[in-house]
A and B are shown apart, each in its own frame.
Chain A
């Protein structure tokens, strides 16, 4: 019996997309279709010689914690969470899931970059915001918000927001415009350093398989 590789996966949209990728490379993801309240699921590979995955469903920031602490060997996490939390792990593959980007946005018609006023930026990503604003040479106060950053300028809590943006619809509906696109984001396969050293062949095989189905998806 092969020891399973423990695999942490963020619940929600990313989970569904990952499930499709894993199914295409031969893992039986039936256990994830209707997980109920269970949080640990075994995903066997169609080749019985390959180690199964033991999927752990968790909140996005916890995925990074599990991986960095070594209780999970591999994980899928958004680049946004990776940049915010950081940590000692390998970032082996860009899964190219999710067409998001980090952007700085402010109410239409405001002059965020001008004047000598004290500036405030609301964000769910304070570490990313601190680095990004410093790189732009902007001295601003960062206000941490857990959700719906778009609300902060409407309430007068901040002068701008730094958030992940997909289509930009939410921004427009709240009267905000993008001041600066900061960087594209997508989901990544990340791997614990020691797990990779000790199970390199199996993990490399998984990465190659995933790479195959991702590249195919892009050719179509």
Chain B
């Protein structure tokens, strides 16, 4: 009987798991509120257009859809940034900037054959052009959430955007190139872009501040501004490194973006960055930056069952 089972991809959380989650939530709350962030919560259902109009990087088939009474398509929120941007452009439109908001609520995406419920906690700073404080908070949030030292890598969306448009492929091909960069598939990239040796050399660069000088030497297109932004961040946060071989969905991030890893987790436990074009389609053209901690990422040895 299906009534005694959860739908595919969904699961119950029992006892100790709930206790650990609450503990993690409490510690993150203390941290975020200490830094002057206020908690918000948004509904689980949002209009489909909220995500398509703001350029969210989720393809149609990853969204969990519901039809409302008027026949309009709603989705279970696939991320927290667009709903909070909507809030900033509507009920909070007369509040003084910057708005410093934090949240703790799951997102829902189609994964494999079912819908996955993925708990997230994070912050959004709306109406600020400053990245250092957010990145510093991201480092601390990973430490608090996973009790491990994070490894955070940063890059700048403007760099890839400038270089790919300079190679002038059509948008379909640019997307394909992005997917090859994300997989670090350099043999296929070499076949795809046989004349772009400098570009490919840049994508392989990763490391500390010395990498930024090397990038400046490698590329003859002016990228001074993005490189200087990265330079300032590395100077303020010496444990952070640069990886020019990161290529998130085209057009979502507009400036600095970052990903965080901890020992034992299979993927990034932290993602974030600057998205200055997200709010304009909602009627409030202000810059914004934020990050999300992916709480469910399995990290062995974080906390043992009591």
A150 shortest CB reach to chain B, Å? 30
B70 shortest CB reach to chain A, Å? 33
Is B37 an interface residue, CB under 8 A from the partner?
A: no
Is B4 an interface residue, CB under 8 A from the partner?
A: no
B253 shortest CB reach to chain A, Å? 18
B266–A194 touching, CB < 8 Å: yes
A193–B267 touching, CB < 8 Å: yes
B118 shortest CB reach to chain A, Å? 14
Report Cα–Cα, A90/B262, bound state, in Å. 17
B186 neighbours in A (Cβ, 8 Å):
92
A218 shortest CB reach to chain B, Å? 13
Count of interface residues, chain B, beta-carbon cutoff 8 Å:
19
Report Cα–Cα, A92/B186, bound state, in Å. 7
Partner of B267, one of A92, A94, A194: A194
Report Cα–Cα, A68/B183, bound state, in Å. 13
Contact A198/B268 with A90-B184, A92-B186, A93-B187 known, Cβ cut-off 8 Å: no
B183–A198 touching, CB < 8 Å: no
Residue of B nearest to A197 (CB): B261
A200 neighbours in B (Cβ, 8 Å):
206
- Interface residue SS majority, chain A: mixed
B187 neighbours in A (Cβ, 8 Å):
93-94
Docked complex: B247-287 residues within 8 A CB-CB of A = 261-268
- Interface residue SS majority, chain B: loop
A70–B267 touching, CB < 8 Å: yes
Contact A92/B151 with A69-B266, A70-B265 known, Cβ cut-off 8 Å: no
Q: What per-residue 1/0 map shows which CB atoms of A183-205 lie under 8 Å from chain B?
A: 00000000111101110100000
A71 shortest CB reach to chain B, Å? 8
B266–A68 touching, CB < 8 Å: yes
Partner of A194, one of B188, B243, B268: B268
Residue of B nearest to A201 (CB): B207
Is A88 an interface residue, CB under 8 A from the partner?
A: yes
Is A27 an interface residue, CB under 8 A from the partner?
A: no
Is B165 an interface residue, CB under 8 A from the partner?
A: no
Contact A194/B184 with A68-B266, A70-B267, A88-B267 known, Cβ cut-off 8 Å: no
Docked complex: A43-94 residues within 8 A CB-CB of B = 68-71, 88-94
A93 neighbours in B (Cβ, 8 Å):
187
B139 shortest CB reach to chain A, Å? 15
B138 shortest CB reach to chain A, Å? 15
B183–A90 touching, CB < 8 Å: yes
Contact A193/B268 with A90-B184, A91-B183, A91-B185 known, Cβ cut-off 8 Å: yes
A69 neighbours in B (Cβ, 8 Å):
266
Can you spell out 29 A-B residue pairs with CB atoms less than 8 angstroms apart?
A: A69-B266, A70-B264, A70-B265, A70-B266, A70-B267, A70-B298, A88-B267, A89-B183, A90-B185, A91-B183, A91-B184, A91-B185, A92-B185, A92-B186, A93-B187, A191-B184, A192-B266, A193-B266, A193-B268, A194-B262, A194-B266, A194-B267, A194-B268, A196-B184, A197-B151, A197-B261, A198-B261, A198-B263, A200-B206
The 10 closest A-B pairs by CB, nearest first: A70-B266, A90-B184, A94-B187, A91-B185, A197-B261, A194-B261, A91-B183, A69-B266, A194-B265, A193-B267
